[in-house]
Amino acid sequence: MSAGYFPKREKIGLEDLFKGLVTASHILHNHGVLDAYGHISVRSPDNPATFWMPCNISPALISTPDDLIEYKVEDASEVEKDAKKGYLERYIHSEIYKRFPAVNSVVHSHSSDVLPYCISGVKLKATIHMAGFLGTNVPVWNASSAYPSGSKHDLLVRNAQLGASLSAAFKPATSAGFIYSKVRSALPAQIGGSQEPDKNPDHAVVLMQGHGFTTLAHGIEEAVYQAIYTKESAKAQTAALLLRNASFGHIVEGKIDVEGGGKIKSASVKTEGDIAYLSDREAHDSWEAMQGTLARPWGLWVREVEINPLYRNECPGCENE
């Protein structure tokens, strides 16, 4: 629902933006990406220096424009001083928007399916073609490297310094460049392309150690898609790892030291049944192919929350009660 994603949407009003942001919050809750915590935001279509995100209530319970707050990108302060209480971690969003001008939507999640990859040292990779945007190397950001002096070490991105450190992880200084940025720089400007590769992120998703994950995109529909399929890809990878370890053995190869009592010297362990992750090329081509289809799942997800009585979208233009 944000300007700049689908080619036919050259302009969008705030009423449509509010309706889309409320619906997106419901969709992410319905798919288990958000629970009582987590949030999605969108850059203002008529003022790139501000963004909108829900106030400090559970995503499933957001229902009206009054539940949304406009913030300044520069410092994450409220545009309206009498605004409702907002999320503490709005700095995740403000610093990403500040660093990447072409990014229009951000999702932060604590999905339990993704959390193991935030703490185990096992790399999250694209296992299915629906998640080609993950690529072959999803970075893990550690808040402990960026805590300001005297601040709380609670893993929460509660200030601009932590937010800036997290946003930098989407484009590491030493990165060779993830295919996500290459795809984006090749797209027409009206659907989110950029002719300034240095301002494009190298990664679509960054994991947060002991915390969750954040994904950025060029529109609400795309951000929701990436958040849902980050979760789905993590589920598939975990299931594949468990199945592989249960079904295949390990072979130890080396030289036997007869005089030393039969100990194996210079041993190496070979495993069977390696998981077939997507290659860089497959990740690139899969994501490129899926980009033209995002309206299909979006339409389904919207209908799912429209008929669910838990979710109420009372923004202008919405028919569900």
Q: What is the average per-residue pLDDT within 87-108?
A: 97
Length of the chain (residues): 321
- Which has the minimum average pLDDT: 38-52, 137-151, 258-272? 258-272
Q: Which amino acid is at 102?
A: A
For residue 320, the model assigns a pLDDT of 47
Q: What is the average per-residue pLDDT within 112-131?
A: 96
Between 56 and 45, residue with greater pLDDT:
56
Report helix, strand or coil for 13.
coil
For residue 178, the model assigns a pLDDT of 46
Tell me the C-alpha distance between 149 and 129, whole Å.
43
Q: What is the value of pTM for the model shown?
A: 0.85
Candidates 55, 76, 51; CA nearest to 67 is 55
Does the annotation mark 15 as catalytic? no
Q: What is the average per-residue pLDDT within 28-55?
A: 96
What share of the chain has pLDDT > 90, as a percent?
A: 71
- Which has the minimum average pLDDT: 73-77, 146-150, 184-188? 184-188
Q: Where are the domains of the chain?
A: 14-238+277-306
Which CATH number is associated with domain 14-238+277-306? 3.40.225.10
For residue 8, the model assigns a pLDDT of 45
Q: Would you place residue 247 in the very low, low, confident or very high pLDDT band (cuts 50, 70, 90)?
A: confident
Between 244 and 221, residue with greater pLDDT:
221
pLDDT tens for residues 202-217? Answer: 999 999 999 999 999 9
Tell me the C-alpha distance between 77 and 102, whole Å.
21
DSSP count for the chain of H helices, then E strands: 8, 9
Query: What is the residue-averaged pLDDT of the chain?
Result: 86
Tell me the C-alpha distance between 139 and 188, whole Å.
27
pLDDT(253) > 90: no
Transcribe 49-102 into DSSP letters. Answer: TEEEEEBSS-GGG--SGGGEEEEETTT--BSSTTPPPB-TTHHHHHHHHHH-TT
Q: What is the average per-residue pLDDT within 83-99?
A: 97
Cβ partners under 8 Å of residue 65, min gap 6: 18, 315, 316
Candidates 10, 15, 70, 89; catalytic one: 89
pLDDT(310) > 50: yes
